[in-house]
Amino acid sequence: RLEGTLPPYGHGPFVRALAEELPWLQVERMELDAGNAARASVVVRGYYLKSLPAEPAADRPVRGSAQ
């Protein structure tokens, strides 16, 4: 959950920043007030991709290699 105050005319950049994080960040609920010091409340769910090993292990053959 993220709560805070947006600067004047900050709605657009804030929403664009959230959209750029798709699919790793999904917004479940967003409340934005209007005004100079607009309150913002956002509930998000984050995802990550488990990284793969950089190099294959030495004790197992590489997939697709000739043995």
Instruction: Classify residue 60: in a domain, yes or no.
Output: no
Q: Does the pLDDT of residue 62 top 60, yes or no?
A: no
Instruction: Classify residue 62: in a domain, yes or no.
Output: no
Instruction: Classify residue 43: in a domain, yes or no.
Output: no
Instruction: Classify residue 57: in a domain, yes or no.
Output: no
Instruction: Classify residue 15: in a domain, yes or no.
Output: yes
Instruction: Classify residue 29: in a domain, yes or no.
Output: yes
Q: Which domain holds residue 7?
A: 2-37
Instruction: Classify residue 16: in a domain, yes or no.
Output: yes
For range 8-23, the mean pLDDT? 87
Biggest CA-to-CA distance, the chain: 68
Instruction: Classify residue 9: in a domain, yes or no.
Output: yes
Domain count within the chain: 1
User: pLDDT, tens digit, for every residue of 25-50?
Assistant: 889 999 998 877 789 999 999 888 77
Predicted pLDDT at 16: 92
pLDDT, the chain, mean: 80
